[in-house]
Amino acid sequence: MAGNSFGNIFKLTTYGESHGNSIGGILEGCPANLNLNLEAIQKELDRRKPGQSSIVTQRKESDTVEFLSGIFEGKTTGTPIAFQIKNKDQKSKDYSHIKEIYRPSHADFTYDKKYGHRDYRGGGRSSARETACRVVAGAIAKQLLQDIQIIGFVSSVGEISLEQSFEKLDFKSIEENIVRCPDPEMATTMENYIKSIRKEGDTVGGTVTCIIKNVPMGLGEPVFDKLHAQLGKAMLSINAVKGFEYGSGFEGTKMRGSEHNDRFLENEQTQTNFSGGIQGGISNGMDIYFKVAFKPVATLMQKQTTINKDAEKVEMQGKGRHDPCVVPRAVPIVEAMAALVLADFYLLQKINSEKI
């Protein structure tokens, strides 16, 4: 209701502000007896953490997750898994200059209008720092999903865009460069571009593509909770996201049905996959793929004019530590949200598929 939960059965509720004591969450609905690999969870978190490379924010957070309940002798107990990540490098004084100011294209203005006041330090609840909690829960979801593979990568930075089909990419090289682009040459171009943008105190947008392999047939629910509708909501809930498309996406609107229809083969696969692995909102066993659009980060290291609480014009300049381009760190977040969606439908399908 109040927007802090995601999922129906496999359900995450998060709390926390950018500069509070800690952020964290409660994950409900994880079946009992799952052997949790805690190191693998921390490793996912490390993929998202600030300071990991020269092209991301230099806020210094170890982002160490601590589990508080729901795990006993290494296995899930079926009861809620609570966890927290302490905030350590919250330099709140960095934000005193924006206490009374509405930063352009940030959530400062709307939070104030909605709630009457706000925790202005680092954006408070609206900060993308909250997504660390999603990565923790998503890492547990990945362990539940076992054979299902979820692979995210950066497919564009600004105008620099990876055009080839995902089937031709070498996913192993994704983590070998700091941009998280599977094409090493393109990765270098992107990295250099991000560095030049940063030097100007500016920011730039980009896209993340995600592929999901080995999805069982039958996941997703009819009508309102279609698999792609839930994936879309999941992605659009990530900070800075402006668009989502799956399968043939916006390009597919230009096609004719005779080209676009995916012909079934005798092995129950389809010859083409414009459907993106989903038909009628339900997985058909083919690869799921989708693309997520991220706008340029709103915090600039440049002078901008804006207004304050009294609607007076003021000038401001960004301080603090921010990302020139959000997509490299967004990759694990996109994967985590995809994992949460799949885990939820995977558990739900155990009920629908009941043989009676």
According to CB under 8 A, which residues from 65 to 94 bind a copy of itself?
A: 66, 68-70, 72-73, 75, 77-82, 84
Q: What are phi and psi of 310, to 5 degrees?
A: -90, 15
Burial of 322: CB neighbours in 10 Å, binned 0-12, 13-18, 19+: buried
Contact 201, 302 (CB under 8 A): yes
Using CB under 8 A as the binding rule, whether residue 354 contacts a copy of itself is answered as: yes
Measured at the CA of 124, the angle between CA 123 and CA 130, to 5 degrees, comes to 100
Say whether residue 152 binds a copy of itself (CB under 8 A): no
238, 295 Cβ separation under 8 angstroms:
no
Positive or negative torsion for Cα 24, 135, 61, 93: negative
Return the number of the residue (150 or 292) whose C-beta is nearest a copy of itself: 292
Is residue 226 involved in binding a copy of itself (CB under 8 A)?
A: yes
Q: Which residue ranges make up the annotated binding site for FMN?
A: 125-127, 239-240, 280, 295-299, 321
Candidates 40-48, 167-175, 180-188, 282-290; binding stretch for a copy of itself (CB under 8 A): 282-290
**Site track for a copy of itself across 37-56, x = CB under 8 A:** --------------------
Residue 280 interacts with a copy of itself (CB under 8 A): yes or no: yes
Does 57 bind a copy of itself (CB under 8 A)? Our answer is no
84: β partners: 24, 66
Judged by CB under 8 A, the stretch of 33-41, 43-51, 163-171, 184-192 that binds a copy of itself is: 33-41
Footprint of a copy of itself on residues 109-138 (CB under 8 A)?
A: 109-111, 113-119, 124-126, 130
307 lines the binding site for a copy of itself (CB under 8 A): yes
| Of 63, 194, 270, 341, the one binding a copy of itself by CB under 8 A | 270
Report how far Cα 209 is from the mean position of its chain's Cα atoms: 11
Decide: is 16 part of the binding site for a copy of itself (CB under 8 A): yes
Which of 91, 97, 213, 233 forms a contact with a copy of itself (CB under 8 A)? 233
Q: Give just the sign of the alpha carbon dihedral 335, 340, 344, 347.
A: positive
Picking from 61, 57, 112, 51, the residue whose alpha carbon sits closest to that of residue 299 is 57
When binding is defined by CB under 8 A, the residue of 230, 321, 333, 336 that contacts a copy of itself is: 230
Instruction: Indicate the Cα dihedral angle 244, 245, 250, 256, nearest 10°.
Output: -160
